[in-house]
Structure 1
Amino acid sequence: MPARIDLPPSTRTVDFISDLHLCPELPRTLALLRHYLERTSADAVFILGDLFEAWVGDDAATLPFEADCVSLLAAAARQRPVYVMRGNRDFLLGPAFFQATGAIDLPDPVALHAPGLSAQPVLLSHGDALCLSDTAYQQFRAQVRQPAWQQAFLAKPLDERQAIGAQMRAASREHQRQQADTPHGQASAPVTYADADPALAQQWLAESDAQVLIHGHTHRPQTEHHASGWTRHVLCDWEVDHHQPPRAEVLRWSDRGFQRLDPAAA
């Protein structure tokens, strides 16, 4: 049974974002996030995983870029509740991160109850656990989510963990390049990942008594209505530094339903 989060009945506007992959190489993406968080009219903001390109332990917050991100989130969390879910890139976000930012640690998956917007909950996930066809990743995920593996990794010096993280990102980028199916001479296509398994998604929805699923991870932004009656909203990844056209989107839930908005105007 998925965990449960309850919002106050007064909540009227909820924003969902994911897959920002923040890192020093994406300064414009960070600037857009700053602009959005400082100006959004949302009553609550949910970040559904991969806020960071890599998070090698909470002591990374001593580094200049990560410290700036922590300060930004702390300022945002003083204005409205900010919920952060771990993704496949930042699964090592720990208690010190949440204490420093004031963000709320969000389980995966979780049933979000917002009685001011709907009588039924909405199911939230990063989405990577749903991608069963990516068997190599599922084996990796099972390994790195084990407490013993995490304890051993976090016991290494910070600079060594940074080097390991850089190697893992380089290997991931190579894998992404192999996945991309872009004809020579055309603009690069957005990287995509294995898609969510419909049967498992429907099982999770049934267990949470929900008919709406919101997730990220796959980099395939879409709204999909299934014949069995449930709806899936896949969040857009953010990349406004190098990708053409720039990619960034907020999914807003309000009394008007679900809308996809430009973060600069949300």
Structure 2
Amino acid sequence: MTNSNSAPAVSYFIADLHLADNRPDITACFISFLQHQAPHAEKLFILGDLFEYWLGDDDDSPFVASIATALKTLSAQTEIFFIQGNRDFLLGKAFAKRSGMTLLPDVEKISLYQQELVILHGDTLCTRDVAYQAFRKKSRSWWWQGIMKNLPLFLRKRIAENYRRKSAASTAMKSQDIMDVTQEEVERVMAEQQVNLMIHGHTHRPAVHHFTSDNNARTRVVLGDWYDQGSWLKFTPHGYELLNQPFDKS
């Protein structure tokens, strides 16, 4: 805990910002969040897809540097935790250190304000999307990542942009049901982690879902994306709520 004892007990969760240098509106909203909301928090959890795509920790572009600097500034007073998403799974220890973040595994059980919960990006819950799960398995392998990380940066960028176009085309042809989480997988993970609360992103469908499984009342909170507005979950000892902030149109 890096805040003083007088700091209010509050933590924030965000995901699916998809930051890119061609979306300055998202970047401006995120920087504003880091400067005005996040400093009041004890912890900030970023649950994946902070970036539209991540080329590697050796990306030294001015855009990446500006995000790293803003996060590093915040980390002096607020703990920042990061779980890799499906767009930035190559983000590693070097960038995390540069930006003052602590990397967490794909699925992490935490205790927050005397409540145990499990956090994750959420893509692993979408088990009906067989094609994506096959790609995910391949892209997390040591050999695939080794090949990618050894390619020149400009070539990695070309590959990432090509994958993004193919992904968009593939997504447009998939049903909403396939791209959403599988309830059975949600319940399996929560039972395995022995928790009654789950927080994740990925599906871009912000909502709070209440259900019962194994005779336990359980809740799944889905974080919103940042395509059209800023979106975050405010978590306190008294509860939690999904909040959003319009982009500055000026």
Q: Root-mean-square deviation (CA), in Å?
A: 2.2
Q: Measure the CA separation in 2 of the matches of 1:160 and 1:57.
A: 12
Residues 193 and 248 of structure 1: is their aligned pair in 2 closer, same or farther, counting only changes over 3 Å?
farther
Deviates more, 1:201-210 or 1:217-226: 201-210
Matched residue, 1:258: 240
**1:140 is the counterpart of 2:135:** yes
Which 5+ residue runs of structure 1 have no aligned equivalent? 1-5, 182-191, 240-245
Q: Which residue matches 1:242?
A: none
Q: Distance in 2 between matches of 1:34 and 1:180?
A: 34
* 2:88 alignment counterpart: 90
Q: Percent identity?
A: 35
Q: Which has the higher strand share?
A: 2
Q: Secondary structure at the match of 1:231?
A: strand
Q: C-alpha distance in 2, partners of 1:193/1:12?
A: 38
Hey, what does 2:57 align to over in structure 1? 58
Residue 161 of structure 2: aligned partner: 166
Superposed, 1:77-116 pairs within 5 Å as: 77-114=75-112
- Residues 24 and 180 (structure 1), Cα distance of their counterparts in 2 relative to 1, 3 Å cut: farther
- Look up the SS of the partner of 2:209 in the other structure: strand
User: C-alpha displacement at 1:94, in angstroms?
Assistant: 1.1
- Partners in 1 of 2:190 and 2:212 — Cα distance? 14
Cα shift at 1:198: 1.6
- Among 121, 125, 141, the alignment partner of 2:120 is 125
* Alignment partners' CA distance in 2, 1:225 and 1:202: 12
Q: Deviations over 1:9-50 (max 9, x none)?
A: x68211100000000111010110100111112111100000
Amino acid paired to 1:36: F
Match of residue 32, structure 1, among 29, 53, 56: 29
For 1:173-252, list aligned pairs within 5 A: 173-179=168-174, 194-228=179-213, 229-239=217-227, 246-252=228-234
CA distance 1:193–1:217, shift in 2 (3 Å): farther
Query: Aligned partners of 2:182 and 2:174: how far apart in 1?
Result: 19
2:58 match: secondary structure: helix
User: 2 CA distance for matches of 1:36 and 1:193?
Assistant: 32
Count how many residue pairs are aligned between Structure 1 and Structure 2: 239
Q: Normalization by structure 1: what TM-score? A: 0.84
Q: Given the two structures, how large is their TM-score scaled by the length of structure 2?
A: 0.89
SS at match of 1:121: strand
Task: For residue 173 of structure 2, give the secondary structure of its aligned residue in structure 1.
Answer: helix
SS for the counterpart of 2:154 is helix
* Cα contact 1:16–1:45 (8 A) shared by 2: yes
Is 1:13–2:10 an aligned residue pair? yes
Shift of 1:177: 3.5
Aligned amino acid, residue 248 of structure 1: G
Q: CA deviation at 1:263?
A: 4.5
For residue 93 of structure 1, give the secondary structure of its aligned residue in structure 2: coil
CA distance in 2 between partners of 1:72 and 1:49 (Å): 17
Deviation of 1:247 after TM superposition, in Å, equals 3.3
Aligned partners of 1:23 and 1:52 also within 8 Å: yes
